[in-house]
Structure 1
Amino acid sequence: MKPHNYKDDEFIHLVYKGSKKDEMIEIPFRDIESMDLNKRGTPIPYTMSNVVNLERYMLLYWSPIIGSDSIILFLHLWEYCDRKSGVDICYPKINELALRMGKTAPTIRNILKKLEENNFIITIHRLNRLHNNKETSPIYKLRQTIPLISKEQYLKLPESLQKRHDDYMERFATGTDLEWFTYDSNETIESLKANGDKIISSKSREEIKAVLKREQEEEFIMANLGDDIKNTLIPNKEFLELLMDYNFSKASAEIYFQNSIVLYDSSIFTVHIITQSSSQKEFLENGLNEYQQSNLRKALDKIYEESIYDIKYFTAEQYIMKILKG
């Protein structure tokens, strides 16, 4: 659940694909909001008798593993959330956290990284749409339950704490075994990426505009496509002639499809028709009557010798974006 008055549409929320931050993946905010960190790893059971100001399990068993600073910072992050309303997302500035903790900003970042590696938080970066996509402070999605430590973390505890942990497991987690390896927080990020969309940089967008201005979009598209799709290109003249064989008049074929690029993705039985303008694309999507749509499909079935499942329309700019996004 998002914080009260949080204007998620003002920001581009993203994660980095690689450690070098060379590629950004935009994440829909609804995916962040609906993400349930409590399902990552095995949660410990919650009981009132086992709670002090800080959950005993975290105090006794996580503290030796991640350090007291990590635990205190985790508590600070919750102070930014309206827990009564179920909010588990916050966006404090690093410098403000540093002041609260009496630490340097780099130290706070290292602690946040440790919390994320152990599945207490997930960090989502942001670009501010209202300020020319300038990067601003990230948001943090917080776990509401305390995860069990892993088997290898358990073996790093002093023997006396291992015995206390054995007692805890016997009393509160009967039938639950410690997993050998800590749940990899990268799996959570990967699950977000699955529904994300690669962000195209401002520099790349300017390059695309230059390509369109020089009217070299077909050359660019063909140079950046795989052979499996590139080899399906139908010359525009040949395509127009075939449409006329399927009851399109010469005038309508030229008006609707002049200078369009036609490609076929056989993996999903889908034809891509790429237009030069958004008005041409909009007309093809909404202006063709049922008779024309049926004849277009028949023509495409003939060209590709398969039953076409779908036809998708793009402007040249949209298609180049699609290529760059992979």
Structure 2
Amino acid sequence: MLDKNLKGTHHKLLYYRYRPTGVEESKVRYVGDTEQAYIKKELEKIYIPEEEIKRFTLDKHGQPIPYVDGHMTIISNYIWDYWGHFFSAEGVALYGHLKRYCYGDKDYCWPDLNLISQKMNKSRNTVKKILANLEKYGFVLVFNVQNADKNNMEESPLYKIRKKVPFLPMELYEQLPSELKIDHDRYMQGIVEQFDQILNLDPSIDYSEVYEDVISKGTVVRKTKTPFELDKELRNKIKVLDKEITELDRTVWDMALAIIKKKVSAPSFNTWFKGTFCIKREQTFTIYTPSNFVSEWLESRYDKMIREALTQVGSQFDHIKYDYLSYQREIESGT
């Protein structure tokens, strides 16, 4: 019989995280009878071995505060008094709800998020946003779970919880309001006097790097897109761009093309610049072409000429990007 999993059952559970691939997908939705085009960031699913999740701990990052008699309620008063400024009251409450399930030496739990949402009188989406904030500060890390013995059926997520409360890093301490900062100084002085030691606040920790280290031990599994899905995505992308492009974008690019046309041969111009257009977003021009090959060619061979032409027509910009209107790279499937 299989050993028990982290949830205490004998099923083979699969633990995974989502990570943005950097690819944006064009989608269309309907609000009433109105069609709306929008951009959705593509996510990839990364499965992390259970042994890696067992080994992973949030508690080794940051300096844990010592136990101080009278400074403990359900959770450390340090969270209520200082971390709560960054968590918000909802974040402190959610942390408390999750931590209550981590009894004994256990630093993980799998409570019903819908039930917690009801206890907090918050929508599930709101609770997920609060969770993301707790992840940002290194107090919770969420692992999605599938049951491999039940046709990869989705189960409730597994939550890794920080149990040892760290001092604020110096960067966050500096962001405290003046009254809270004074109160924190008084608290730290009390710790120093009681424990006869010198305490220095640690520098900030980038928890995205901490989590990336866990993810790096997993296996990437990506969905294979069908030709129909790729074609639909392309059509949606064109709809989005058609609504976004302005008359000024069209005018600027037409003027730039007129300058470029005088500097290259007619065959070269027709080959590499036909069907192109540009959209300016803040201080970045994105040049759109019919294919990835054309985009790469323009960037490698004509980038300087394009920059000079856009500058000559009076456009101010900091960056130029190249994109294309053909099937985005097909996503390979993983195991």
Question: Does residue 78 in structure 1 map to residue 99 in structure 2?
Answer: yes
Q: Could you tell me how far apart the structure 2 residues matched to 1:99 and 1:123 are?
A: 19
Contact 2:47 2:218 in 1 (8 A): yes
Q: Could you tell me how far apart the structure 2 residues matched to 1:13 and 1:151 are?
A: 34
Amino acid across the alignment from 2:217: N
Contiguous gaps of at least 5 residues in structure 2:
22-40, 227-331
RMSD: 2.7
Question: Does residue 97 in structure 1 map to residue 116 in structure 2?
Answer: yes
Question: Does residue 187 in structure 1 map to residue 213 in structure 2?
Answer: no
Structure 1 position 201, deviation (Å) = 4.6
Structure 1 position 90, deviation (Å) = 1.0
Q: Could you tell me how far apart the structure 1 residues matched to 2:160 and 2:5 are?
A: 9
Q: Could you tell me how far apart the structure 1 residues matched to 2:92 and 2:160 are?
A: 16
Question: Does residue 135 in structure 1 map to residue 154 in structure 2?
Answer: yes
1:15 to 14, 17, 22: 17
Q: Could you tell me how far apart the structure 2 residues matched to 1:80 and 1:3 are?
A: 13
Q: Could you tell me how far apart the structure 1 residues matched to 2:7 and 2:53 are?
A: 15
Q: Could you tell me how far apart the structure 2 residues matched to 1:94 and 1:153 are?
A: 29
Q: Which residue of 2 aligns with 1:53?
A: 74
Contiguous gaps of at least 5 residues in structure 1:
205-322
Q: Deviations over 1:173-195 (max 9, x none)?
A: 543322343x2222222221232
What TM-score do the two structures reach when normalised by structure 1?
Answer: 0.56
Q: Could you tell me how far apart the structure 1 residues matched to 2:74 and 2:112 are?
A: 25
Amino acid across the alignment from 2:75: L
Amino acid across the alignment from 1:13: Y
Question: How many equivalent pairs are there?
Answer: 204
Amino acid across the alignment from 2:184: H
1:24 to 33, 45, 63: 45
Q: Could you tell me how far apart the structure 1 residues matched to 2:101 and 2:219 are?
A: 29
Structure 1 segment 298-313 matched on structure 2, within 5 A: none
Q: Could you tell me how far apart the structure 1 residues matched to 2:88 and 2:72 are?
A: 19
Contact 1:41 1:147 in 2 (8 A): yes
Q: Could you tell me how far apart the structure 2 residues matched to 1:158 and 1:195 are?
A: 40
1:176 to 199, 211, 224: 199
Structure 1 position 21, deviation (Å) = 5.3
Amino acid across the alignment from 1:14: Y
% identity of equivalent residues: 29
Q: Could you tell me how far apart the structure 2 residues matched to 1:185 and 1:92 are?
A: 23
Q: Which residue of 2 aligns with 1:225?
A: none
Q: Deviations over 1:194-218 (max 9, x none)?
A: 32222355879xxxxxxxxxxxxxx
Structure 1 position 3, deviation (Å) = 5.3
Structure 1 segment 1-326 matched on structure 2, within 5 A: 5-7=8-10, 9-18=11-20, 20=41, 22-81=43-102, 83-84=103-104, 86-172=105-191, 174-181=197-204, 183-199=205-221, 201=223
Contact 2:74 2:96 in 1 (8 A): no
Alpha carbons of 1:107 and 1:4: their partners in 2 closer, same or farther (altered >3 Å)? closer
Contact 1:89 1:139 in 2 (8 A): yes
Structure 1 position 17, deviation (Å) = 2.8
- Aligned residue for 1:186, secondary structure, equals helix
- Aligned residue for 1:47, secondary structure, equals coil
Amino acid across the alignment from 1:38: D
Alpha carbons of 1:52 and 1:101: their partners in 2 closer, same or farther (altered >3 Å)? same
- Aligned residue for 1:37, secondary structure, equals coil
Contact 2:44 2:222 in 1 (8 A): no
Q: Could you tell me how far apart the structure 2 residues matched to 1:49 and 1:118 are?
A: 25
- Aligned residue for 1:177, secondary structure, equals coil
Contact 1:2 1:87 in 2 (8 A): no
- Aligned residue for 1:38, secondary structure, equals coil
Alpha carbons of 1:4 and 1:199: their partners in 2 closer, same or farther (altered >3 Å)? closer
Q: Which has the higher strand share?
A: 2
Q: Which residue of 2 aligns with 1:219?
A: none
